[in-house]
Structure formats: structure tokens, C-alpha cells
Amino acid sequence: MVTAMNRLLVRFGITGGIPLLLVLATGCGTTPPARSEAEVRAETALNRGIRAEHRGDASEAERLLTQSMTTSSSIEDYPSQTMALINLARLYRLRPDLAKADTFIDRAIKTTAMDTRYSAEAAYEKALIELAKGSPATAQAWAQKAIETERGNALGSRLNLAARIQLVRGMVDDAQALAGKALIENRSAGHPEEEANSLRILGMIARNEHNHERGIQFLQEALQIDKRIGKSSKIAADLAELAESARSAGRLSESAIYLERASEVNRAGGRVEQAIENQERLAGVYTQLGNEQKALRARETARRLAIPDAVQQPGSSSTTISPSSKP
């Protein structure tokens, strides 16, 4: 079963980071330098490992990423080595095996002393691991380091993470300021998924401040973006947050509809534990509505979903390490 902190990570969409692929640096109008056979092997194993994780083959991803790390280490190819280490840390965090994740991310951070181009990504992943360990104050320090060392176009994602962590810590004003800045950054950079993440955080903050209509507006915007890009896990998260906002506003029938939708999306996406949580919350809403028959039905659905193999799990995985043309 997922821990309480892991459930928070799922709700906030903190299940991944910037996808990594080896991108060769080439000068404008210049011929790229000749690359050694070992460099090509390291890159190939890295790319294949990332794609294996994306299709849900964790064991093959582990094998290939380890191969990439070993090959790149043998020739002191620090960028490839760092990326392989970060992706291994991410793989273990999502398993979850936080002890191994810690080991690999600390090694990645050490390699950034030799080549700093992925310092921000290493700090970002370290923040996620610390948050998963239940250390939000330490996570916030690493998230701030990711913001400070970002030199590419991923600043919005770094700001989103910092905002999410501050919300976990109960520092709502800081979270709102960071999420607002992230929203502007993500819109400017053309990052719709991160834009939706910013909107989801702002929606949750508005709900906490009892500004229900504003919160629902933010969450509806996030939902439309996530539906446009086809992000199933985020669609489910948006629907669950809309349900919570509607419930907080006293709109219980509307909350039930959102939870039914969230449960269906999670079941179809193979996220059984999230679907169970949706059904358990749905039972609570029906109890509030005085409809014990539907409440019992929701609890029975949750019970059946908890039985192993009750729902066929598609070959899904986190999109944390999905292939990308950008580091």
C-alpha cells in the first residue's frame, strides 16, 4: 500500500521530474566532434533504459540504466553518468526503494561537481526523494537549489515543486507566490503539463482559503489542459481535487460525480490504489448525502478492487523517465 506521503505526492502530481535523454551539444554550423564507441554504447543503453521504464519494464530499465552508468563511468563521461544515476534514483524512488534512490542520487550529485550541466535536475530529484522520505524541510532546501542552478527552460517545474513542498509544510502564502510565478514561467515557456500542475496547486490553495469558486476555476483549467495532452494520471488528480473542492463548498452531489469519474479514469489507467481511495471518499460523500445504499456500494467496489488481480493492470508506468528531446 502507498504511504500517506506517497498519496500526497500523487495528489500533487509529484511523481516525476524532467524526462532525461542524452542530447549531444553541437556548435552552431559546426561539425559535431567524433564520438567514441563507448560514448555511443552509453547513450544507447541510456535511451533504451528510459524507454523500457516508459513501457513499464522496470527490470529491463534497471539493467540498461546500470549498463549506461557503468560504461559512462569507465570513460569519465560525466554528463551521461549523471543522467544514468538520476534516472536510476528516480526508478528506485518510484518502486519505492528510497534507500537505493538515496544512494544513486547522492552519487549523481557528486558527479555534478565535475560537470554542472545537470546540477538542477539532480537537486530536483533529491528534493523529491527527501519529500518521499517525509522530510519536507530538507526537500525544500534542495528544491531551492534546483531553482537557483536551473540554466535551461525548466524553471517552471522547479518552482512548482517548491510550491508543492511549501503547501505540504503548511506555508500557504509561500506556496501561492511560488505557484503563481511558476504559472507565468510555464505559460511563457510553452509547457502545458507544468502549467496544469501550477493551476492544480493554485486550486488547492484557493480551496484552503475557502475561495471555492476560484479554486474550482483553477482546477477546471488544469483538467482541460491535461485532457488536451492526454495525461491520464493528472486527469484523475484534477477530478479528485475538483471533488474535494465541491465537497468543501457543500456541493456533495457534484463531488460524488467527480469522484466517480476519477475512480473510472484511475481504474482504466491501472492505478488501482488511487481508484480505491476515490471509492472510499465517495462512500463518505454518499453517507453525508444520507444515501447509505450508494455508500455501501462504493465500499464494496473499494473492497473488490483491493483483491489482487481484480483489475487488469495495463503496461503503465510513471512518465518520470519518458523519452524527450530535452534534458
Concatenated DSSP letters for 194-217?
HHHHHHHHHHHHHHHTT-HHHHHH
Contact predicate 165/184, CB 8 Å? no
Q: Return mean pLDDT, the chain.
A: 87
Mean pLDDT for 152-156 is 95
Task: Determine which of 33-47, 121-135, 204-218, 223-237 has the lowest per-residue pLDDT on average.
Answer: 33-47
Predicted TM-score of the model (pTM): 0.82
Residue 171 has pLDDT above 50, yes or no: yes
Identical fold between 40-125 and 231-311: yes
CA dist 213 to 242, 247, 248, Å?
Answer: 11, 12, 11
* 234-283 pLDDT, tens digit each: 999 999 999 999 999 999 999 999 999 999 999 999 999 999 999 999 99
Task: Determine which of 1-15, 182-196, 219-233, 259-273 has the lowest per-residue pLDDT on average.
Answer: 1-15
Q: How far apart are CA 141 and CA 185, in angstroms?
A: 21
Q: From 172, 198, 197, 173, select the one nearest 183 (Cα to Cα).
A: 198
Cell numbers standing for residue 217:
476555476
Residue 123 has pLDDT above 50, yes or no: yes
**In this structure, what is the dihedral angle of CA atoms 50, 55, 61, 62, given to the nearest 10 degrees?**
120
> Which 8-state DSSP code applies to residue 31?
P
pLDDT band at 53 (very low <50, low <70, confident <90, very high): confident
Which residue has better confidence, 22 or 144?
Answer: 144
CATH fold label, 231-311: 1.25.40
The confidence score (pLDDT) of residue 25 equals 35
Mean pLDDT for 27-42 is 71
* 222-239 pLDDT, tens digit each: 999 999 999 999 999 999
The confidence score (pLDDT) of residue 57 equals 87
Give CATH superfamily name and number for 40-125.
Tetratricopeptide repeat domain (1.25.40.10)
Q: How far apart are CA 194 and CA 219, in angstroms?
A: 13
The confidence score (pLDDT) of residue 311 equals 47
Task: Determine which of 105-109, 119-123, 300-304, 323-327 has the lowest per-residue pLDDT on average.
Answer: 323-327
Task: Determine which of 17-21, 102-106, 248-252 has the lowest per-residue pLDDT on average.
Answer: 17-21
Listed by start position, the domains of the chain span 40-125, 231-311
The confidence score (pLDDT) of residue 145 equals 97
Could you tell me how many helices (H) and strands (E) the chain has, helices first? 15, 0
CA dist 152 to 149, 183, 218, Å?
Answer: 9, 17, 27
Contact predicate 124/146, CB 8 Å? yes
Residue 312 has pLDDT above 70, yes or no: no
